[in-house]
A and B are shown apart, each in its own frame.
Chain A
Amino acid sequence: MSSFASFLEMGGYGGFVWPAFALTAAVLLALLVDSLRRLKSGQRTLARLEAESPQRRSRSSADAAAGGQA
């Protein structure tokens, strides 16, 4: 317990060391979570739009058609 307390104390610099690590973790995680949310919401919207307009040829079928003509 006391060794853990002394670890947290960081030789008296705990008030500077831990905020530096915590802020770094918070900023990097926030950026990751925000980017993943943006990706998921984009993928969901795109999937919905593609499902709603089945008459619109998808890229792969267009490619296949172009390949068939060649």
Chain B
Amino acid sequence: MPLHRFANPGRFMRLADRLLPWTGGLAVLAIGLGLYLGLFVAPPDYQQGESVRIMYVHVPSAWMALFVYSCIALASAAALIWRHPLADLAAKASSPVGAAFTFLALVTGSLWGKPMWGTWWVWDARLTSVLVLFFLYLGHMALLSAFEDPARGRKAAAVLALVGFVNVPIIKFSVEWWNTLHQPASVFRLGGPTIHPDMLWPLLAMGLGFTLYYVSLLLIRIKCELIEARLRAFGRAAMAAAPAPAAQ
């Protein structure tokens, strides 16, 4: 596994410090471009009018909700199978970010649904399965801190993440398998996008920006985990040294 090269915390820290200015800077550029294209250049929809601009935050948030969960499932598999030490940290660092994106997808969808569908919420397949995804994220975060032994918490959370992964294809295909108010996919579909390029470009720019934002935040939060692990090691060393200071 070439990934084991990054199992060394010091090496990871140096790599993260080198990457962060790029991922962060490009995230700002892509989101800035996406906002400009989405708010000023893209035309209003012929049916939905200006309300369609909610799409430029709603759809990338929903993409990220699924993407971050898939990353957590992948990291959990790597943690359970290969015991890669950074995989557990990546999963732990990701779930609050994924929960935030899922929350945004739900609320911005609600703000879009009220004027277009006439309702804030409907218990249909797409909306309900995304709500389940939100609870999976909350469960993942809760399990990580539910055990006295953090290793047991990490293992339980990893199992939950893998079992919950069945929800991801359910969300993706819910608009085809069941009758729903939610419109079907218009970007990532067999046969290519059906959406007009003037609307596709701001969407892709925002999607790229959100992905780079997630990567930057992931690097920062894994750094936090590594530093806090060293702080805990300091605490243990101090406790072990306290009764016998002459141990050196």
By a beta-carbon cutoff of 8 Å, the part of chain A in contact with chain B is: 10-13, 16-17, 19-21, 23-24, 27-28, 31-32, 35-36, 38-39, 42-43, 45-46, 49, 53, 55-56, 59-60
Chain B residues whose CB sits within 8 angstroms of the CB of A46 once the complex forms: 227, 230-231, 234
Closest to B109 in A: A20
Q: How many chain B residues touch the partner (CB < 8 A)?
A: 34
Q: Does B15 have its Cβ within 8 Å of any Cβ on chain A?
A: no
30 A-B pairs within 8 Å (CB atoms) are namely: A10-B51, A10-B53, A11-B44, A11-B50, A16-B112, A17-B53, A19-B111, A20-B57, A20-B58, A20-B108, A20-B112, A23-B104, A23-B107, A24-B61, A27-B103, A27-B104, A28-B100, A28-B213, A31-B217, A32-B213, A35-B217, A35-B221, A38-B224, A39-B220, A39-B224, A42-B224, A42-B227, A46-B227, A49-B231, A53-B234
> A10 to B50, Cβ gap below 8 A?
yes
What are the 3 closest A-B residue pairs judged by CB atoms, nearest first?
Answer: A11-B50, A42-B227, A13-B51
> A13 to B115, Cβ gap below 8 A?
yes
Bound together, the chains give a CA A32 to CA B107 distance in angstroms of: 20
Chain A residues whose CB sits within 8 angstroms of the CB of B104 once the complex forms: 23-24, 27-28
Q: Does B142 have its Cβ within 8 Å of any Cβ on chain A?
A: no
Bound together, the chains give a CA A2 to CA B211 distance in angstroms of: 36
Bound together, the chains give a CA A1 to CA B51 distance in angstroms of: 22
> B227 to A39, Cβ gap below 8 A?
yes
Chain A residues whose CB sits within 8 angstroms of the CB of B58 once the complex forms: 20
Q: Does B197 have its Cβ within 8 Å of any Cβ on chain A?
A: no
> A24 to B108, Cβ gap below 8 A?
yes
Q: Does B152 have its Cβ within 8 Å of any Cβ on chain A?
A: no
Nearest chain B CB to A50 CB, angstrom units = 8
* A27-B100 CB under 8 A given contacts A16-B51, A36-B220, A56-B237: yes
Bound together, the chains give a CA A24 to CA B209 distance in angstroms of: 13
> B54 to A35, Cβ gap below 8 A?
no
* A20-B54 CB under 8 A given contacts A13-B49, A42-B224, A42-B227: yes
Closest to A49 in B: B234
Q: Does B223 have its Cβ within 8 Å of any Cβ on chain A?
A: yes
Partner of A24, one of B50, B51, B57: B57
Q: Which has the most chain A C-beta neighbours within 10 Å: B50, B104, B112, B228?
A: B50
Bits for B47-91, please: 1 = Cβ < 8 Å to A, else 0. 001110110011001000000000000000000000000000000
Chain A residues whose CB sits within 8 angstroms of the CB of B108 once the complex forms: 20, 23-24
Nearest chain A CB to B240 CB, angstrom units = 12
Bound together, the chains give a CA A33 to CA B230 distance in angstroms of: 22
